[in-house]
Amino acid sequence: MDLPIQKIDQKNGQEQIIGKNILLGVTGGIAAYKSVEFLRLLKKAGADVTVLMTGSARHFVGKTTFEVLSENAVLSDLFSDTESSVKHIDIATKADAVVIAPATANIIGKFANGIADDALTTTLMAVTCPVMICPSMNTDMYQNIRVQRNLDILEQDGWHILDPDSGALACKTVGAGRLPDPWFIFDRLCAMLVKKDLKQKQVLISAGPTIEAIDPVRFVSNHSSGKMGYAIARAAEQRGANVTLVSGPVSLDTPVGVEKIDVLSCGQMADQMLTHLKKADIIIKVAAVADYKPCDPKDKKIKKKDNSKELSVAMTQNPDILKQIGEKKRPDQFLVGFAAETNDLESNALLKMKKKHLDMIAANLVGSSDSGFKADTNKVKLFSKDGSVFDIPLMEKDKLAHILIDQILEKMG
């Protein structure tokens, strides 16, 4: 299976998953093999997973596979598998979330109509936690009016429906009905478990480096990987915000549900940030913007001169995007800057907060391998314009992103 390793290593939203009791319902569809990989992601993220299989699911993937990978007994028969006759009630009561992947037309019909005639449907009757259904079937079956009606019923009941992907299906047709990739189901599960305290908020974020051309093949830039800004974009989207991410060139996948705008130079980033500023409630400027750019970028490659050992490139200052935003922003907009510092962290950050009219600045000591540029972890000190200071110790950028959002919301009241 083509599993994008980077997406898994980004540890998207692991915080929501660690220590959680997740019930994974597997029903009889060809995509059942993908739920094995989904189970691996859940385990890797620290979940305790119990798998429930329908009889037909066992025709596609063996029970042993799920048992070994989940390190828990698989529940597939109410009467012969369990030590306790009320095991299904025990696991239903303890569950923090349920994912049914793949979900067949049959199981969707049963759930929607309150039928409880096997281990999975009976257990689901007793759960009170959030449930996500991942329909996967032939396109005509998926579009069938009864299946759609049943999905509508489940949605109205508060269950989350993850739309299937479109593409080539096992039945040799092409259309909607494919089970989404395991990392995507994982990402949406994280989003389902997160509080939606940014609902109806517009969040504008800049991330990554800018690059300033010297000639068509060379440029001036910095080491920003985009990880910090993308983690904040992902966290904000999961918490219900509409997120616009203005990104310099990075090699990260766009977080699910985020509108990304690619830019190269500071000038392009300034244009996009200012265009999208008006509708933003929260603006977070994480990008490492080049302070200077070549005065006179050449349109042809600069040739090496054998008679000259040195080359000087005259540089001129770029516009300060954050300062421009600070001067333009309305009082109801909340503006956060980042300050990458190698020394005098506090005084430099405070000066930038004042000069650029910020509500908050995340002072980021850079220069070590575990924080700042490129690292998966980071540590920052948050200074707010009301004089308060909040220390976020070294942790995964994904986790830090959520704490930063908590702090922003607290300051916004």
* Binding interface with ligand PMT (CB under 6 A): 224-228, 266, 285-289, 291, 318, 320-322, 337-340, 352, 364, 366, 372-374
Q: What are the CA-CA distances from residue 162 to residues 131, 192, 255, 288 (Å)?
A: 11, 11, 16, 35
Smallest distance from the beta carbon of 228 to ligand PMT, in angstroms? 4
Q: State the first-to-last Cα distance of the chain, in angstroms, to the nearest integer.
A: 46
Q: For residues 243 and 339, which CB has a smaller minimum distance to ligand PMT in the complex?
A: 339
Q: Residue 167: how many CB atoms within 10 A of its CB? A: 10
Q: For residues 59 and 374, which CB has a smaller minimum distance to ligand PMT in the complex?
A: 374
Q: Encoding tokens for residue 184? A: 């995507």
Measure the CA dihedral 321/326/327/333, to 10°: 130
Q: Encoding tokens for residue 348? A: 């430099």
Collect all residues with Cβ–Cβ distance below 8 Å to 318 and sequence separation of at least 6: 210, 212, 266, 267, 289, 290, 291, 292, 293
Smallest distance from the beta carbon of 390 to ligand PMT, in angstroms? 16
- Residues with a known catalytic role: 171
Q: Residue 332: how many CB atoms within 10 A of its CB? A: 7
Q: For residues 98 and 321, which CB has a smaller minimum distance to ligand PMT in the complex?
A: 321
Q: What are the start-end ranges of the E strands in 104-241?
A: 131-135, 160-161, 165-168, 174-178, 202-207, 212-215, 218-220
Which of 343, 342, 374, 345 minimizes the C-alpha distance to 362?
A: 345
Smallest distance from the beta carbon of 287 to ligand PMT, in angstroms? 5
Q: For residues 37 and 212, which CB has a smaller minimum distance to ligand PMT in the complex?
A: 212
Q: For residues 165 and 320, which CB has a smaller minimum distance to ligand PMT in the complex?
A: 320
Q: For residues 118 and 396, which CB has a smaller minimum distance to ligand PMT in the complex?
A: 396
Smallest distance from the beta carbon of 402 to ligand PMT, in angstroms? 15
Q: Report the side by side order of strands in the sheet with 48-53.
A: 48-53, 21-26, 97-103, 131-135, 160-161
- The dihedral built from the CA positions of residue 86, 88, 92 and 95, taken in this order, carries a sign that is positive
Distance (Å, whole) CA 378 – CA 369: 10
Smallest distance from the beta carbon of 338 to ligand PMT, in angstroms? 3
Smallest distance from the beta carbon of 371 to ligand PMT, in angstroms? 8
Which of 168, 193, 187, 123 minimizes the C-alpha distance to 31?
A: 168
Q: What's the DSSP call for residue 262? A: E
Smallest distance from the beta carbon of 412 to ligand PMT, in angstroms? 19
Q: For residues 160 and 227, which CB has a smaller minimum distance to ligand PMT in the complex?
A: 227
Collect all residues with Cβ–Cβ distance below 8 Å to 83 and sequence separation of at least 6: none
